[in-house]
Amino acid sequence: METGAATRPYDVVLFGATGFVGELTAAYLAAHAPADCRWALAGRSRGKLAALRDRLAARWPRCAELPLLVADSTDPESLRELAGAARVVASTVGPYVWYGEELVAACAEAGTDYLDLTGESEFVDTMYVRHDARARETGARLVHACGFDSVPHDLGVYYTVRQLPEGVPLRIDGFVRAGAVFSGGTFASALTAFGRGRRILRAAHERRLHEPRLVTRRARAPLAGPRFSRETGTWALPLPTLDPQVVARSARALDRYGPDFRYRHYASVKTLPMALGGSAVVGAGALAAQLPFVRNWLMGRYEPGRGPSAERRARSWFSVRFVGEGGGRRVFTEVSGGDPGYDETAKMLAESALCLAFDDLPKTSGQVTTAVAMGDALVERLVAAGLRFRVAHSG
């Protein structure tokens, strides 16, 4: 981080604090940030920020004097001021491909650590091409996908790799199951991605032109076909999400993943009819998103800022099981927790911000993954916060 960053007024600033996940993250910070953490709420409406502060102070009186910072994703100057005042900025304002770049640019320029919740590969690839080099110069760490996309998968593979021998080819498969509902913001991001297929491919191609190539090692995350998984007793459907891309980037950056690493990412479904039905729903959504009037109508029905009730979130859960092999050893691991998209995502984002602000971490800069930037420190934080990382079996 650039010289003088430690003397800035705020350790952590939460941008987009009045949105659905933003408010959950603010509540988590109010409950769990250390007493000496200098943090602030940021967003475009001072009135909404003040109302949120009042709600927080009703439960946690020390929040009564929380600073409020007004900034707008369409006002670059306000974002530059925000980035210059903070050591770490965590953003919940999406879809990021529409609203995210100016804040990334401001943090890269100011040497400020940046975190978000994006699952949008186009955004991540474009930010790498445009801002990674400057962030490396200033010392900023740009860490995307710090929620359910992609912390359980990235750190779950990182955890699994550490159970396997060093210096040998490794093969890991991840199987995702969840019982949860989504918010308007998640729905808007998904529809946006479905409607931008050509732009996504173009951004990925441009990134490949800029990324350095591995010479003595190989790390891959190929899209596999559907199959029945004997390891989990479920049908495994390939998941073309951001998560395997993030895992592969961690593997390229960390020698511990071995000389030849491969990761495959699946949704785990109990029965074949459920597998076929899920595929049909995703296909229909992707097709509908190609039609602007349908996409706009759907977004109007699921507006960002809304989400499931606390009661529904309390019944939600997720589990990601990993099967790892290498050097004659096989290991089964699992990362699991409660409501994936909201309660646990808020926890992951908040703990990631606190980790960057306060923990002794490897020296990194530029666009980096959670495993590369935070690794063991973030795993320890998340376990202490209630997420479960475990070895189910090894042999």
- Residue 260: predicted pLDDT: 98
- Residue 236: predicted pLDDT: 93
Per-residue burial over 197-209, b = 16 or more CB atoms within 10 Å of its CB, e = otherwise:
eeebeebeeebee
Is residue 224 very low, low, confident or very high in pLDDT (cuts 50, 70, 90)? confident
Are 281 and 169 in contact by the 8 Å Cβ rule? The answer is no
Range in 227-236, 271-280, 379-388 with the lowest mean pLDDT: 271-280
Taking the C-alpha atoms of residue 108 and residue 115, their distance in angstroms, rounded to an integer, is: 12
Taking the C-alpha atoms of residue 256 and residue 247, their distance in angstroms, rounded to an integer, is: 13
Mean pLDDT of 316-332: 97
In the predicted model, is pLDDT for residue 137 greater than 90?
A: yes
The sheet that has 113-116: what strands, in order across it? 68-70, 39-43, 10-15, 86-91, 113-116, 141-143, 366-367
- Residue 285: predicted pLDDT: 46
- Residue 6: predicted pLDDT: 74
End-to-end CA distance of the chain: 42
In the predicted model, is pLDDT for residue 3 greater than 70?
A: no
In the predicted model, is pLDDT for residue 287 greater than 80?
A: no
Taking the C-alpha atoms of residue 312 and residue 218, their distance in angstroms, rounded to an integer, is: 43
Is residue 1 very low, low, confident or very high in pLDDT (cuts 50, 70, 90)? very low
Is residue 288 very low, low, confident or very high in pLDDT (cuts 50, 70, 90)? very low
- Residue 284: predicted pLDDT: 43
- Residue 274: predicted pLDDT: 54
Nearest residue to 220 (alpha-carbon basis) of 250, 241, 198: 250
In the predicted model, is pLDDT for residue 272 greater than 70?
A: no
SS (H, E, C) 97-154: HHHCHHHHHHHHHHCCEEEECCCCHHHHHHHHHHHHHHHHHHCCEEECCCECCEHHHH
What is the reported pTM? 0.90
Range in 227-241, 243-257, 329-343 with the lowest mean pLDDT: 227-241
Is residue 190 very low, low, confident or very high in pLDDT (cuts 50, 70, 90)? low
In the predicted model, is pLDDT for residue 151 greater than 90?
A: yes
- Residue 280: predicted pLDDT: 43
- Residue 10: predicted pLDDT: 98
Instruction: Provide, rounded to the nearest whole percent, the portion of the chain with pLDDT above 90.
Output: 78
CB within 8 A of 340, min separation 6: which ones?
A: 148, 152, 178, 180, 316, 317, 318
Taking the C-alpha atoms of residue 189 and residue 196, their distance in angstroms, rounded to an integer, is: 11
| Mean pLDDT taken over the chain | 89
Instruction: Provide, rounded to the nearest whole percent, the portion of the chain with pLDDT above 70.
Output: 86
Q: Which residue has the higher pLDDT, 292 or 142?
A: 142
Q: Max CA-CA distance within the chain?
A: 60
- Residue 300: predicted pLDDT: 52
In the predicted model, is pLDDT for residue 197 greater than 90?
A: no
Q: Which domains does the chain show, CATH number per domain?
A: 5-146+344-380 (3.40.50.720), 151-339+388-394 (3.30.360)
